[in-house]
Amino acid sequence: VLPADAAIYKTLWHSYTTKTPQKLKILDAFMAFLVVVGVLQFVYCVLVGNYPFNAFLAGFASTVGQFVLTASLRIQANPANKATFESVSPNRAFADFAFASVILHFFVVNFLG
């Protein structure tokens, strides 16, 4: 579906590396790490089987949940999106992130059984 033209990806990469602030890049690195962990868990589940299914789900849901929460934080903290989030300052966004992550991990640990 996507074009095979490598130039577009080059401009994409260039625009990303130059325009993105340092803090957002750190968040992106964390998100990439979460993707890797999630994929690893999934591959392991496919290869070995899903016997303690709740354990697999807890682990996988923690990576997915943490990924979307980090993505939310990244969106909210991005200066480019300031107009969309009038009432959410970056500090408030981080507090939201912390609150949601704590709940998420409480339930992950509970679900691990």
Partner 1 sequence: MAEAVLSKQTSRDARGLLKVVILALIAGAAIASRLFSVIRFESVIHEFDPWFNFRASKYLVKNGFYDFINWFDERSWYPLGRVAGGTLYPGLMITSGLIHNALKAINYPVDIRNICVLLAPGFSGLTALATYWFTKEMKDESAGLLAAAFIGIAPGYISRSVAGSYDNEAIAIFLLMFTFFLWIKALKVGSAFWGGLAALFYYYMVAAWGGYVFITNMIPLHVFVLILMGRFSNRIYVAYSSWYALGTLMSMQIPFVGFQPIRTSEHMAALGIFGLVQIVAFVEFVRGQVPSKQFQVLLRSFVVVMFVGGLAALVGLTLSGTIAPWTGRFYSLWDTGYAKVHIPIIASVSEHQPTAWPSYFFDLGMLIWLFPAGVYMCFRELRDEHVFVIVYAVMASYFSGVMVRLMLTLTPCVCVSAAMAASTLLDSFLDVTTSPSVSAEAATTAAVESNSGKPAAEKSTSAIETQASKMIKGMSNKRSEKPVGIYSKANRLVVVSSFLMYFILFVYHCTWVTSNAYSSPSVVLASRMPDGSQHIIDDYREAYYWLRKNTPEDARIMSWWDYGYQIAGMADRTTLVDNNTWNNTHIATVGKAMSSREEVSYPILKKHDVDYVLVIFGGLLGYSGDDINKFLWMVRIAEGIWPDEVKERDFFTARGEYRIDDEATPTMKNSLMYKMSYYNYDKLFPQGQAMDRVRGSRLPAEGPVLNTLEEAFTSENWIVRIYKVKDLDNVGRDHASAMQFEQGKKKRRRSGGNKGVVRKLRV
CB of 76 to partner 1, least distance (A): 7
Whole-angstrom distance, CA of residue 40 vs CA of residue 42: 5
Binding mask 3-32 for partner 1 (x = CB under 8 A): x----x--xx--xx--x-------------
User: For partner 1, which residue of 1, 6, 47, 48 counts as binding (CB under 8 A)?
Assistant: 1
Plot region of 3 (φ>0 → left; ψ -120 to 50 → alpha; else → beta):
beta
Q: Is 6 exposed, middle or buried (0-12, 13-18, 19+ CB in 10 A)?
A: exposed
Handedness of CA 89, 92, 94, 100 (dihedral sign): negative
56 binds partner 1 (CB under 8 A): no
Whole-angstrom distance, CA of residue 49 vs CA of residue 61: 17
34 binds partner 1 (CB under 8 A): no
User: For partner 1, which residue of 39, 53, 109, 112 counts as binding (CB under 8 A)?
Assistant: 53
Question: What residues from 57 to 86 belong to the interface with partner 1 (CB under 8 A)?
Answer: 57-58, 61, 64-65, 68-69, 71-73, 75-76, 80-81, 84-85
Whole-angstrom distance, CA of residue 51 vs CA of residue 54: 8
Mark the segment that binds partner 1 (CB under 8 A) among 30-38, 41-49, 53-61: 53-61
